[in-house]
Amino acid sequence: MEKQTAIASSCFFLLYIATFTVAEVLEAHHHHHRHNRHGSMKLFVFGDSYVDTGNTGKFVSASWKEPYGINFPGKPAGRFLDGFVLTDYIASFLGIRSPVPYALRKFVKKSKLESGMNFAFGGTGVFDTLVSGPNLTTQVGFFEQLLQQKVYAKNDVVKSSIALVSVAGNDYAAHFGRPGNDTKDLAMFTKSIIKQLTVDLKRIHDLGVQKIAVTTIEPLGCLPSITSFLSYQNCNEFANMASMFHNQILLQKLEELNKETKNSTFVDLDLYNAFISAVKPPKHHQGYSTFQINTLKPCCVGVSNEYSCGSVDQTGAKKYIVCDNLDVSFFWDTVHPSQNGWHEVYAAIKPSLRQLYS
């Protein structure tokens, strides 16, 4: 069981690359424009592929290959699924356009930056992972540099900013992917993650952000990269226990931070239970049999174990298949929810989002 968990965890991360296609990402953000009904509200996003909207580069990352982006914007544009990610739903809740990716900040008009900025990079973590992307501390450093450069006025940040922090799944993938690490070290490793995450959250607050939404981590044992070893029939309970332990310590720290700030600054978004509720069998949808809808099975998969979603062979022939019931599938690929999946998660965490206005 432990060996299976370690092997499957290596599927979590995606390679980071240094180049990207500016026009394609900007087109996606243009189509997702929404009127800012809350005036000068800004959203600053930190984390990994669950919230990345185009920072991770093009030539290796699956997020830039077909069939990614088939629902939105209709072609690959840097999101790690078929359509909208969590960032997009939260921006919509706030009544603003999805923040421009940090990697594109120099390629857009200044007016495009009014809704904030997305510093999240796919494959990254609180610490350095198995990819070369910027970890959370570095991402917060990018934010601080922009404040120093007066891209955002400190007073505006204090008055009307919300931060979204969604990170740590890749830290566990990296932990199990490195030789010599095992489950005996897991509790200590989790505590080190939360300790550094706490430092970074305090830093974001010290930079002026008054409300910070922090996601718990998903049930790692329910990700298809792990449930594939169980024929997509069950979640791996050991991996889920690791997630629960992480979240327990995280929630304790957020409570302590709120006592320090005396202003309910930190709001937890419970991804764990949102995922569990969404994948819990049986799922009944009109027009589909229960057998057809296995919520633990991803919609987009490789035709064999050597391929994955988005794979092609040397001739360019597709080596993946996309399910016929994407509109009711929870998972898009072996790690990421689909647009429908994120919509279900968003519906579950929406009451918590309202606390951002309290």
Interval 56-83: pLDDT, tens: 988 768 899 999 999 999 999 999 999 9
Q: Mean pLDDT throughout 82-91?
A: 98
DSSP summary character for residue 344: H
Would you say 166 and 50 are in contact if contact means Cβ atoms under 8 Å apart? yes
Q: Mean pLDDT throughout 198-224?
A: 97
Amino acid at 107: F
* Higher-scoring residue by pLDDT: 46, 155: 46
Active site residues: 49, 333, 336
Please state the φ and ψ torsions of residue 137, each to the nearest 5 degrees. -60, -40
Given a cut of 80, whether residue 5 has pLDDT beyond it is no
pLDDT recorded at residue 272: 98
Q: What CA–CA distance (Å, rounded) separates 19 from 42?
A: 26
Residue 64, C-beta contacts closer than 8 angstroms, at least 6 positions apart? 20, 21, 57, 58, 76, 77, 78
| Banded pLDDT at 184 (limits 50, 70, 90) | confident
- Separation of CA 202 from chain center: 21
Would you say 251 and 203 are in contact if contact means Cβ atoms under 8 Å apart? no
Q: Using DSSP, state whether 117 is helix, strand or coil.
A: strand
Pairing of strands 116-118, 42-47: parallel
Place of tokens 């996606």: 28
| Banded pLDDT at 40 (limits 50, 70, 90) | confident
pLDDT recorded at residue 14: 31
What pLDDT digit, counting tens, does each position of 313-356 carry? 999 999 999 999 999 999 999 999 999 999 999 999 999 999 99
What pLDDT digit, counting tens, does each position of 6-27 carry? 334 343 333 332 334 444 455 5
Number of H helices, E strands in the chain: 11, 8
Most confident among 111-125, 146-160, 170-184, 279-293 (mean pLDDT): 111-125
Q: How far is CA 60 from CA 12, 15, 20, 170, 189, in A?
A: 15, 7, 10, 18, 29
